[in-house]
């Protein structure tokens, strides 16, 4: 899938660099207490919602409402990103473009589903970033922080998605990643996120169902993406091709827990530890969302088995 070169993707909601000037705006996100290693102080962090099973201790601490606004000169609006053409050639602009397209869609779907819709923020960072959920490194992978309602994508991840995790490198593989994190924002607004027991793991756990629902919401966006419009009414994306769907499925497979535990990390596949679902589960729920195109189709919590 590519952006319509003439579409306008300008936005003040997507920025680069650290979290300069970001103030947490409240919202969901239960707190969990984790004992720091080696007799360190008890750290209190706010849960983040990642694309794949990262180590929450990759969050370096801080967090909650005590986040310091980074005084970075590096951050700021993505001035190079104004049209769909830019989104087709620059991955930072791609992130901004997907967020803008998803804003357009969920501003309609959200209220229809009883969700009071608000646009999320997005930040593209290098190496490390300050967030409303604490400081995070790029090791954690793309994530959503409910405390500041912001999607975080580190700018080296799309390369890793292909070279380390084995996605096919298509544009739509990257778009799926952004749309998944956007799905967590919808779950935050709907209140679903705060109802889940985040300690539970395993293929049928609440945490996995939450992740699979975010995959399904990414599919819902894919279903509607080519009809989303910019502020001038111009269509933002071109119709999906079969190859686009293959790219999305390759990404969903690449970030499956079984694939990461086995093929990527070279370890044992341990289903009881899963937090995001297998490659097959993730592909299935993306496709459910894509084929049905409705929020209702993504009721992973109501399904007997996911
Ligand atoms: Zn996720």
Q: pLDDT of 85-120, one tens digit each?
A: 999 999 999 999 999 999 999 999 999 999 999 999
234 Cα: distance to centroid of ligand 1 (angstroms): 30
51 Cα: distance to centroid of ligand 1 (angstroms): 4
201 Cα: distance to centroid of ligand 1 (angstroms): 14
Residue 5 is assigned to a structural domain of this protein: no
Which residues have C-beta within 8 Å of that of residue 190, sequence separation ≥ 6?
A: 113, 114, 115
Residue 160 is assigned to a structural domain of this protein: yes
The pLDDT, as a whole number, for residue 18 is: 63
Reported as a single tens digit per residue, the pLDDT across 47-99 is 889 998 866 556 655 444 434 444 344 578 999 999 999 999 999 999 999 99
Residue 223 lies in domain = 14-30+45-298
The pLDDT, as a whole number, for residue 17 is: 81
pLDDT surpassing 60 at residue 9 = yes
Residue 131 is assigned to a structural domain of this protein: yes
Residue 165 is assigned to a structural domain of this protein: yes
192 Cα: distance to centroid of ligand 1 (angstroms): 13
Residue 1 is assigned to a structural domain of this protein: no
296 Cα: distance to centroid of ligand 1 (angstroms): 19
pLDDT surpassing 70 at residue 20 = no
141 Cα: distance to centroid of ligand 1 (angstroms): 10
276 Cα: distance to centroid of ligand 1 (angstroms): 7
pLDDT surpassing 60 at residue 262 = yes
User: What mean pLDDT, rounded, does the chain reach?
Assistant: 87
79 Cα: distance to centroid of ligand 1 (angstroms): 28
Residue 38 is assigned to a structural domain of this protein: no
282 Cα: distance to centroid of ligand 1 (angstroms): 11
Q: Are 155 and 124 in contact (CB under 8 A)?
A: yes
Residue 35: pLDDT band with limits 50, 70, 90: very low
The pLDDT, as a whole number, for residue 47 is: 81
Distance CA 96, CA 144 (A): 15
Residue 284 is assigned to a structural domain of this protein: yes
Reported as a single tens digit per residue, the pLDDT across 200-248 is 999 999 999 999 999 999 999 999 999 999 999 999 999 999 999 999 9
193 Cα: distance to centroid of ligand 1 (angstroms): 11
270 Cα: distance to centroid of ligand 1 (angstroms): 19
212 Cα: distance to centroid of ligand 1 (angstroms): 8
Residue 285: pLDDT band with limits 50, 70, 90: very high
Ligand 1 ion: Cβ-proximal residues, 5 Å cutoff: 49, 211, 214
The pLDDT, as a whole number, for residue 61 is: 57
227 Cα: distance to centroid of ligand 1 (angstroms): 25
Q: What is the mean pLDDT of residues 17-43?
A: 42
Residue 274: pLDDT band with limits 50, 70, 90: very high
Query: In the chain, how many domains are there?
Result: 1
Residue 304 is assigned to a structural domain of this protein: no
152 Cα: distance to centroid of ligand 1 (angstroms): 12
């Amino acid at each position: 899938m590519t952006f319509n070169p003439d579409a306008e993707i300008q936005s003040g909601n997507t920025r680069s660099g650290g979290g300069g000037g970001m103030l947490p705006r409240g919202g969901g996100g239960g707190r969990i207490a984790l004992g720091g290693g080696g007799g360190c102080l008890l750290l209190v962090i706010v849960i983040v919602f990642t694309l794949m099973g990262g180590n929450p201790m990759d969050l370096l601490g801080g967090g909650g409402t005590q986040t310091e606004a980074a005084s970075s000169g590096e951050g700021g609006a993505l001035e190079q990103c104004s049209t769909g053409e830019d989104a087709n050639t620059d991955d930072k602009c791609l992130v901004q473009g997907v967020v803008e397209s998803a804003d357009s869609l969920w501003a309609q779907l959200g209220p229809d589903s009883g969700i009071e819709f608000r646009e999320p923020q997005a930040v593209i960072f290098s190496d490390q970033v300050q967030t409303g959920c604490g400081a995070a490194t790029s090791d954690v992978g793309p994530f959503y922080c409910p405390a500041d309602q912001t999607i975080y994508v580190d700018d080296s991840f799309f390369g890793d998605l292909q070279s380390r995790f084995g996605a096919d490198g298509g544009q739509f593989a990257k778009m799926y990643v952004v749309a998944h994190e956007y799905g967590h924002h919808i779950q935050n607004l709907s209140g679903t996120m705060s109802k889940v027991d985040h300690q539970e793991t395993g293929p049928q756990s609440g945490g996995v169902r939450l992740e699979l629902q975010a995959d399904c919401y990414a599919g819902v966006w894919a279903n509607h993406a080519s009809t989303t419009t910019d502020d001038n009414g111009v269509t933002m994306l071109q119709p999906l091709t079969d190859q686009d769907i293959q790219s999305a499925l390759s990404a969903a497979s690449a970030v499956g827990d079984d694939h990461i535990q086995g093929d990527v990390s070279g370890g044992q596949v341990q289903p009881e530890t899963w937090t995001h679902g297998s490659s097959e589960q993730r592909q299935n729920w993306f496709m459910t969302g894509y084929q049905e195109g409705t929020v209702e189709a993504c009721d992973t919590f109501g399904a007997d088995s996911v």
